[in-house]
A and B are shown apart, each in its own frame.
Chain A
Amino acid sequence: MSNVTLKVNGRNHTVNIEPSTPLLYILRNDLDLQGPRFGCGLGQCGACTVIIDGVATRSCVTPTSNVKGEITTLEGISKDGKLHPLQQAWIDEQVPACGFCQNGQIMTAKALLDKNPKPTDAQIRDGMARTLCRCMTYYRIQAAIKRVATGKVGA
């Protein structure tokens, strides 16, 4: 066990942990962040996605000691009580079914749009391809991303 300092959603946290512990468990159990979720523990489904220095990262297979940059979780993307446009688009489009995977969908979409604000349909499909949803809300997820890309949020 040793002290590790993480910058998450703009705040520094120091936790006393086994440093090889996957970041997901530290975020969920030590920092009480519940956006990122355990889905597979294998980096295959994306439910645990956080953004580290702009990169969508699977926290379930990321050793905490490897994390050097600032971490953003689902809780950290709204600003001043105002939802991120993607979150609003998710509501406008009524995307979630059970909603369990939607953390990964939103965070992966955010990293995608941050790099490429006007993706084509094919780029959306490719960029989201490895983020799984077992309620199969893909059709509405893609529609919500297109809303943001075309500035139609809140419409």
Chain B
Amino acid sequence: MSIQRRDFLKQSGMLIVSFSAAGTAALSAAGQAGQAAQASQAAGLYPDLDFRKLDSWIVIHENNTATFYVGKTDCGQGTGTAFRQMMADELDIAYDKTTCVMGSTDVTVDQGGSGGSDAIQTDGLPMRRVAAEARRVLLEMASARFNTPVDQLAVSAAVITVKSNPAQRVTYGELIGGKTFNVALTGNNVDAAAGVAKMKAVQDLKIVGQSPQRYDIPAKVDGSLKWAVDVKLPGMVHARNVKPPFAGAKLMSIDESSVRSLPGFVKVVSKGNYVAVVCEREEQAINAARQLKVNWEKPATAPFPASEELFKFMRAANPTGGGNPALVGNPDAAFASAAKVIEAEYDVPYQGHTAIGPAHAMADPSNGQMTIYTNDMKSYGMRNGVADFLGMPRDKVRVVWMEGPQAYGRTAADDAGFEAAYIAKEIGRPVRVQWMRNEETAWDTKGPAFTFKMRGALDASGNLAAFDYNAQAADYNHLGYNEPNTVLIAQLMGSRPTRPAPGSAGGPNEMYAIANRKTASQVVSLPLIYETPLRTGNLRDPNGPQITFASESFIDELAAAANADPVAFRMKLLTASTADDTGFKRARSIAVVKAAVEKFGWDTRPSPQAKSRTTGNILTGRGMAYTYRSQTVVAEIAEVEVNRQTGHVWVKRLVCAHDCGLVINPEGLRRTIENGMLHSLSRALYEEVQFDTEKVTSVDWVTHPTLTHTDTPAQIDVVIVNGDPNPKRPDLPQYGAGETMHKPLMAAVANAIFDATGVRLRRVPFRDARVLAALKTAGV
């Protein structure tokens, strides 16, 4: 397909391609990528697509269907369906007459792949504009054909008619099917890509706001979808890595004779501290990687403290840098005159991405080119990174994006693609690399560990007079996106950037009006900076869940100290100012808190629950937390049952009130919110990367447990809110929704546990043993 696509884009206005397959609406984008993956790559360069050409985005077929080509990837949140809805709406074509091709570098413009929940908020806008432009061009063509002004034409479902004489009609397919538009777009960058036409007013959108089913789901439930893990090529071999057994270990020697006689053995590939074994068959490579004798030397100093000592280490560590605290008002004076000062410390450990399927990729080195089949969410970055890493021209490297197991940030630094490409170039055969479970859980990128120290000053009336926030994140050498000098294989081969990326710690996101604030955050480093399994990367809403756990737990502590209802205490802080931003975050924050409270049936009273109500072994309580990310605001309420004999916490019910502006697909959004909250619940209850002073000891689903079916809430209520002061405005913005729901949930659960038990958990995760110990200490 991609060869057809390239040829198509080279033509100028001639009918040259039938697009027999791509023209059928039933064929999914992933299916097309799968077809592309069935043959070795053909010779020929892979030039970049020009985002300033309409033809790079939209193809109209003779059968009056359309294919949209977008530079995004889908992490399992149905964005492809949303893209089709937005573009079909602007183009005026039925949703089911469209398909969407995503994320393969040689057929789609570079919109950066996935990340930052920007697919709808940022990238959706050029998609809408170019689709509107295609509609405008088609109307112009019909105008010329019928010799009738555009304003005398009507368009519906890809058919243009003359208003005064509907018998005069022409379809989009008849106007341009199989031919190119040859229309230039404007814009300094891809996000600004635009034509002459304007986007429709919200009121004129008909497909946006509906909930067509996700097109990718049928092939995912009948087993027919070709995923990146399924790619097979003639002459392919399988590779498995041999990771250093100790963090920071140095490779001294390899005894290749330990595997040379094993069945199917092809080669040991090694450079620096990177080692892989290649065999003809997959199980042979797994076996050979286990059998290979490698002599490693332990580092002279421990790479990191043991996980039980981590927070102590972080609190004593010198920050790697960082500016002065951000100051509002005069916090010192407010603390000096406070009626009550509350202090608390919070800890969040390293948490892994731990995808359900480990890192994997297939690389094809034929014809002196390199094609990588991958689920990398940032396929364009991988193309650039691999080209640099291998010293190949960019236009000889192509990345074919295909579906894969998602882990919400893991594949932004996709190690396996680089490894497959490196080995493929070395041995000159297509290579499939896949990590084993222990590699993935121990060595994937981590969300950084955090320690927090908070102080709050209450005045005599119980108002929050000052808030002093201090955060430290173990986020030194935060990995970039597919950088050729920071992906793991490059680090193991000795590559070092000029200086480590310092990552970030950050402060809370809320709209609370607090007159005196001090916000300080620093990054600290562990001893081992490179080649470490504790390398950090972007884990869903990077840093947000950690920060919000601490800040929204602390707000709850302050409410309790003020003997105030936790919602009332927050509402007072939200309504203490009338200042708002251009996105109306204050008004929308108030609206989501109100909506969550109403849906839950919140009983206004201070936490914790009265002791008289806590009889038996099961203690129940409710807690809330609120935050925003970018312009999306969210309030969540958890209802918990805490078993005081076992320490087990079950979140029985969750409510989320969510405002992301214009909603493209409400049912898709609901599921994204449900799943994102449960992902955070897994982090709250179970997830922690543990390690000794040599290596990560969390290596599988027993040593790094995750949420299971047993933990699933009995009820989840999602309330979609439009809290804009002018909710019907025609330019209601569309904001990202992939991460905000993930952010406040750990705090909501901690606050609910406090409400149920009177015990404040300041350390994530709330595994049974930790909860039980805290209950016992408190005499609950």
Q: Give the B-binding residues of A (Cβ under 8 A).
A: 1, 18, 21-22, 25, 28-29, 32-35, 37-42, 44-45, 47, 73-75, 78, 83, 87, 90-91, 94-103, 106, 121, 124-126, 128-142
Q: Point out the residues of chain A lying under 8 angstroms from B679, CB to CB.
A: 134-136
Among residues of A, the one whose C-beta sits closest to the C-beta of B286 is: A41
Complex: A124 Cα to B710 Cα, angstroms: 9
Contact string against A for B residues 62-80, beta-carbon threshold 8 Å, 1 for contact and 0 otherwise? 0000000000000111000
B602 to chain A, nearest CB (A): 22
Q: Which 5 A-B pairs have the closest CB atoms?
A: A98-B76, A136-B678, A99-B220, A97-B76, A35-B223
Inter-chain CA distance A94–B221, complex, in Å, is: 10
Docked Cα-Cα span, A134 to B678, in Å, equals 9
Shortest Cβ distance from A53 into chain B, in angstroms?
A: 20
Q: Which of B675, B682, B700 has the most CB of A within 10 A?
A: B675
Which residues of B lie under 8 Å from residue A98 when comparing CB positions? 75-76, 356, 403-406
Contact in complex: B282, A140 (CB < 8 Å): no
Are A125 and B709 neighbours in the complex by a CB distance under 8 Å?
yes
Is A134 in contact with B403, judged by CB distance below 8 angstroms? no
B436 contacts which chain A residues (CB < 8 A)? 41
With an 8 A cutoff between CB atoms, is B636 at the interface?
no
Our pick among B223, B224, B671, B678 for the contact of A73 (Cβ within 8 Å) is B223
Contacts A39-B357, A94-B667, A101-B356 given; does A138 touch B678 at CB 8 Å: yes
- Chain A residues whose C-beta falls within 8 Å of the C-beta of B711 in the assembled complex: 138
Determine if A139 and B407 form an interchain contact, defined as CB atoms under 8 angstroms apart. no
CB distance from A88 to the nearest CB of B (A): 8
A37 touches B283 (CB 8 A): no
Assembly CA distance A74 to B227 (angstroms): 15
How far, in whole Å, are A75 and B230 apart by their CA atoms in the complex? 14
Which one of B134-142, B209-217, B467-475 is at the interface? B209-217
B222 interfacial contact with A, CB 8 Å: yes
**In this assembly, does B463 line the interface, its C-beta being within 8 Å of a C-beta of chain A?**
no
Interface residues of B (CB under 8 A from A): 75-77, 213-214, 216-218, 220-227, 229-230, 232, 263, 281-283, 286, 354-358, 403-407, 434, 436-437, 667-668, 671-672, 674-676, 678-679, 681-682, 700-702, 706-714, 716
Give complex CA distance A83, B225 in Å.
15
In contact, B403 and A45 (Cβ under 8 angstroms) = no
| Residues of chain B lying within 8 A (CB to CB) of residue A138 | 678, 707-709, 711-712
Given known contacts A34-B226, A100-B356, A129-B708, A40 and B437 CB-to-CB distance under 8 angstroms:
yes
Is B709 a contact partner of A134 (Cβ separation < 8 A)? no
Nearest CB in chain B: distance from A134 CB, A: 4
- Are B223 and A74 in contact (CB-based, < 8 A)? yes
Q: In whole angstroms, what is the CA distance A125 to B713 when docked? A: 11
Residue on A with the closest CB to B238? A29
The answer to whether A139 touches B223 (Cβ under 8 A) is no
Measured between alpha carbons, how far is A45 from B230 in the docked complex, in Å?
Answer: 19
A47 to B406, CA, bound (A): 14
Q: Tell which of B263, B283, B681, B682 has the most Cβ of chain A within 10 Å.
A: B283
In the complex, which residues of chain B have a beta carbon less than 8 angstroms from the beta carbon of A99?
A: 76, 216-217, 220-221, 225, 403
A3–B413 alpha-carbon span in the complex (Å): 42
- Check if B218 sits within 8 Å of A91, measured CB to CB: yes
Q: Which residue of A lies closest to B702 (CB)?
A: A44
Residues of A within 8 Å of B232, CB to CB, are: 29, 32
Q: 21 A-B residue contacts at CB 8 Å? A: A28-B230, A34-B223, A34-B229, A39-B358, A47-B356, A74-B223, A91-B213, A91-B221, A96-B220, A97-B675, A98-B403, A99-B216, A99-B225, A100-B227, A103-B223, A134-B706, A135-B406, A136-B679, A138-B678, A138-B709, A142-B712
9 more CB-based (< 8 A) A-B contacts, given A126-B710, A142-B709: A37-B357, A40-B701, A44-B437, A44-B701, A96-B220, A100-B227, A100-B406, A101-B405, A136-B707
Question: A residues within 8 A CB of B281?
Answer: 25, 29
Tell whether, in the assembled complex, residue A38 and residue B221 are in contact, meaning their CB atoms are under 8 Å apart: no
For the complex formed, measure the closest distance between the CB of B26 and the CB atoms of chain A, giving whole angstroms.
Answer: 14
Report the bound CA distance from A42 to B710 in whole Å.
Answer: 21
Residues of B within 8 A of A33 (CB): 223
C-alpha gap A53/B281 in the complex (Å) = 28
**Minimum C-beta distance from A124 to chain B (A):** 7
Chain B residue numbers with a CB within 8 Å of A129 are 708-710
Task: Tell me the minimal C-beta distance from B14 to chain A in angstroms.
Answer: 39
* Central interface residue in B77, B356, B407, B713, by most chain A CB within 10 Å: B356
B378 to chain A, nearest CB (A): 16
A125 interface neighbour in B283, B674, B702, B710, Cβ under 8 Å:
B710
Verify B222–A75 contact, CB threshold 8 A: yes
- Report yes or no: B222 in contact with A87, Cβ–Cβ below 8 A: yes
Q: Closest Cβ of chain A: how far from B279's Cβ, in Å?
A: 12
Q: In this complex, which of A32, A103, A121, A139 has the most chain B Cβ atoms within 10 angstroms of its Cβ?
A: A139
Given the contacts A40-B700, A135-B679, A141 and B357 also touching, CB distance less than 8 Å = no
Q: How far is the CA of A130 from the CA of B707 in the complex (A)?
A: 10
B437 touching A42, Cβ below 8 Å: yes
User: Inside 8 A of A94's CB, which chain B residues have their CB?
Assistant: 213-214, 217, 667-668, 671
Verify A45–B406 contact, CB threshold 8 A: no
Q: A99-B220, A132-B356, A139-B712 are contacts. A41–B437 as well, Cβ < 8 Å?
A: yes
Shortest Cβ distance from B680 into A: residue: A136
Pairwise interchain contact B671-A38, C-beta atoms closer than 8 A: no
Determine the distance from Cα of A140 to Cα of B76 in the docked complex, in whole angstroms. 14
Q: A45 vs B357: C-alpha distance in the bound complex, in angstroms? A: 10
Quick check: A140 and B709 within 8 Å, CB to CB? no
Which of these, A28, A45, A139, contacts B674 with CB under 8 Å?
Answer: A139
CA distance A41 to B700 in the complex (A): 10
User: Contacts A18-B263, A134-B405, A135-B679 given: A45-B356 contact, CB under 8 Å?
Assistant: yes
Contact B709 A102 (CB under 8 A): no
Other-chain residue from B226, B357, B675 in contact with A38 (beta carbon distance below 8 A): B357
> A125-B712, A136-B682 are contacts. A25–B221 as well, Cβ < 8 Å?
no
For B404, list chain A residues within 8 Å (CB).
98, 100
> Is the beta-carbon distance between A90 and B217 smaller than 8 angstroms?
yes
Q: Give the docked Cα–Cα distance between A126 and B405 (Å).
A: 24
Contact present for A75 and B706 (CB under 8 Å): no
Instruction: Give Cα distance in the complex from A141 to B676, angstroms.
Output: 15
Closest to A99 in B: B220
Given contacts A38-B434, A100-B227, A135-B76, A83 and B217 within 8 Å (CB-CB): no
Residues A136 and B675 in contact in the complex (CB < 8 Å), given A22-B283, A100-B356, A142-B709: yes
Shortest beta-carbon distance, B383 to chain A, in Å?
A: 22
A39 touches B356 (CB 8 A): yes
Q: Which residue of A lies closest to B670 (CB)?
A: A94
Cβ-neighbour of B282 out of A25, A42, A136, A142 (below 8 A): A25
Q: Does B701 lie within 8 Å of A45, measured CB to CB?
A: yes
A83 — which chain B residues lie within 8 A by C-beta? 221-222
Complex Cα–Cα for A81 and B93 (A): 30
A8 to B672, CA, bound (A): 36
In the complex, the answer to whether B222 meets A25 with C-beta atoms within 8 Å is no
Cross-chain contact A139 with B708 (CB below 8 angstroms): no
Known: A39-B356, A96-B221, A135-B675. A21 touches B708 (CB 8 A): no
User: Chain A contacts of B286 at CB under 8 A?
Assistant: 41
Tell me how far the C-beta of A54 lies from the nearest C-beta in chain B, rounded to whole angstroms: 19
Is A134 a contact partner of B407 (Cβ separation < 8 A)?
yes
A140, B716: Cα distance in complex, Å: 10
Nearest to B34 among chain A residues (CB) is A34
Q: Output the residue of A42, A96, A103, A126 with the most chain B CB within 10 A.
A: A96
**What is the bound-complex CA distance between A129 and B711, given in angstroms?**
9
Chain A residues near B710: list those with CB within 8 A: 125-126, 129
Neighbouring B residues of A38 by C-beta, 8 Å: 229, 357-358, 434
A102 to chain B: which residues have CB within 8 Å? 220-221
* Contact status A134-B354, CB under 8 Å: yes
A125–chain B nearest beta-carbon distance, Å: 5
Chain B residues whose CB sits within 8 angstroms of the CB of A96 once the complex forms:
76, 214, 217, 220-221
Chain B: minimal CB distance from A11 (Å): 15
